[in-house]
Amino acid sequence: MFDNQQINSIKGLETPFYYYDMALLEKTLDKAKNAADKHGFHVHYALKANFNKRILSLIQSKGFGADCVSGNEVSEAIATGFPASTITFAGVGKTDKEITTALEYQIFAFNVESIQEMEVIDELAGRLGHTARVSLRINPNVDAQTHHYITTGLDENKFGVPTSELEKAATAIRELKNIELVGLHFHIGSQITDLNVFKSLCVKVNEWKNWFEERGTVIKVLNVGGGLGVDYHNPDVNSIPDFEAYFDVFDRFLERTPRQEVHFELGRSLVAQCGNLVSRVLYTKSGVKKHFLILDAGMTELMRPALYQAYHKIERVSDENEEGVKLNYDVVGPICESSDSFGKEVSLPISKRGDLIAIRTAGAYGEVMASRYNLREEIRHVYSDSI
Ligand code: LLP
């Protein structure tokens, strides 16, 4: 994955750091944008996946909107140059301060998650003399068939308004004077690799859209959330997700009038493959049954394996011939937690102290979820085009 020139340019750098392949990011964004434009679809980038400044700027420059989940993300999106008219604000626990910030910027829409939240937005908008545009997040009870920590569209999840409360929500929307309903919002989970799941989502969206329209409510926007998965096992073969196939599913199965807009909130699929966590072997260790590689990166830099038992491909970064004898290593970090492991029984060329190791597909939910636990250093990053 790294060519010799790249290896030469990173080999002397202090580790660990995130390495972002900006050319791949640009190619990915272009593919996604073209595939969406073909159908007139709107894509909001989910900042939560990665809000690294250069990444955000590039995404903004390509004409994506922004999907935010905190007041700070809304402010960051504005500071990066995303037009307020393309910003959505989601989340089950928006504070009054965050809602006020978003109202002052006059963002495109709040994705509201409960009737009580709608009442609070209505009150705060009234105080400012604004009308708040909202999309109602419906929990459609669709199984995203992904890890249970990142599935969000089931009845037992905390997200969205349960369908049993929609009658009440529709009444509230009619009665609250400082709120304008622009659309319906759905998001069923993340890292979804089976496109049939999105087909099932379309069926539910059609059903609830009709339900509202039968009651005389105009639905301008159908926001179907994010969730398109990436190939963690083959990052070089499938470095860019199949955006064409993904958008085609919605084009084919979503029933919409020509004036109805379809919006997406993609995070992972846009940024995951361009990021790698580069780390150095600090120590090698052989136990009775195991060989360990102890890295200078740990769960503090990339939390996904510890938190979700997530798989990331692990490779040695080397300009030497990688054929030769291999060993099965448990690749672990330096943090005082047994869960601080990146992979067990990983087949790697025999490695030594000082070797560079790349943990692949780490551009989404990597750097943003880093922590200072153990008073670790602030995570560093480098960009392929500026080293
Ligand atoms: N929209 C909403 C309402 C969301 O909750 C999310 C992600 C997205 C959009 C973007 O989804 P994406 O396209 O990235 O799948 N930290 C976890 C993932 C958490 C996803 C949370 N919501 C991980 O590392 O796998």
Q: What type of residue sits at position 46?
A: A
How far apart are alpha carbons 251 and 344 in whole angstroms? 41
Mean pLDDT of 336-358: 96
Q: Yes or no: say if 220 and 182 are a contact pair by the CB < 8 Å rule.
A: yes
User: What local confidence, expressed as pLDDT, does residue 62 receive?
Assistant: 98
Query: Which domains are delineated in the chain?
Result: 4-17+273-386 (2.40.37.10), 22-271 (3.20.20.10)
How far apart are alpha carbons 285 and 332 in whole angstroms? 11
pLDDT band at 321 (very low <50, low <70, confident <90, very high): low
Give 166's contacts (C-beta < 8 A, 6+ positions apart): 138, 208, 211
User: What local confidence, expressed as pLDDT, does residue 42 receive?
Assistant: 98
- Map residue 307 onto helix, strand or coil: helix
Residue 333, Cα to own-chain centre: how many angstroms?
24
Atom of ligand 1 nearest to the CA of 268: 14
Cα 303 to averaged position of ligand 1 atoms, centre (Å): 15
pLDDT band at 148 (very low <50, low <70, confident <90, very high): low
pLDDT digits (tens, 9 = 90+) for 266-304: 999 999 999 999 999 999 999 888 999 999 999 999 999
Atom of ligand 1 nearest to the CA of 185: 3
pLDDT band at 147 (very low <50, low <70, confident <90, very high): low
Cα 327 to averaged position of ligand 1 atoms, centre (Å): 35
pLDDT at residue 150 is higher than 60: no
Mean pLDDT of 165-191: 95
Report DSSP letters for 128-156, one per residue: HT--EEEEEEEE------S-GGGB--STT
**Torsions phi, psi for 127 (to 5 deg):** -60, -35
| DSSP β-bridge partners for residue 230 | none
Q: What type of residue sits at position 136?
A: L
Q: How many CA atoms lie within 13 A of 337 on its CB side?
A: 15
How far apart are alpha carbons 290 and 328 in whole angstroms? 8
pLDDT band at 63 (very low <50, low <70, confident <90, very high): very high
Give 127's contacts (C-beta < 8 A, 6+ positions apart): none
Q: Which of 28, 44, 47, 48 to mutate to test the pocket of ligand 1 (most atoms within 8 A of CB)?
A: 48
User: What local confidence, expressed as pLDDT, does residue 39 receive?
Assistant: 98
Ligand 1 site: residues with CB under 6 angstroms? 46, 49, 67, 90, 150, 152, 187, 190-191, 225-228, 265-269, 304, 308, 365
Cα 76 to averaged position of ligand 1 atoms, centre (Å): 18
Q: Yes or no: say if 152 and 144 are a contact pair by the CB < 8 Å rule.
A: yes
**Neighbour tally for 12: CB within 10 Å:** 6
pLDDT band at 156 (very low <50, low <70, confident <90, very high): low
User: What local confidence, expressed as pLDDT, does residue 319 receive?
Assistant: 77
Q: What is the DSSP letter of 12?
A: T
For residues 285 and 148, the model is more confident at: 285
Beta strand pairing call for 161-162 and 221-223: unpaired
Cα 290 to averaged position of ligand 1 atoms, centre (Å): 35
Beta strand pairing call for 87-89 and 132-139: unpaired
User: What local confidence, expressed as pLDDT, does residue 261 receive?
Assistant: 98
Give 40's contacts (C-beta < 8 A, 6+ positions apart): 261, 262
Q: Please name the residue whose Cα sits nearest to atom 8 of ligand 1.
A: 226
User: Is residue 253 packed enough to be buried (19+ CB in 10 Å), middle (13-18) or exposed (0-12)?
Assistant: middle
- Map residue 2 onto helix, strand or coil: coil
Q: What per-residue string of b and e applies to 101-138 under the rule 16 or more CB within 10 Å gives b? A: bbbebebbbbbbbbbebbeebbebbeeeeeebbbbbbb
How far apart are alpha carbons 283 and 295 in whole angstroms? 7
Q: Which of 92, 265, 274, 311 to mutate to test the pocket of ligand 1 (most atoms within 8 A of CB)?
A: 265
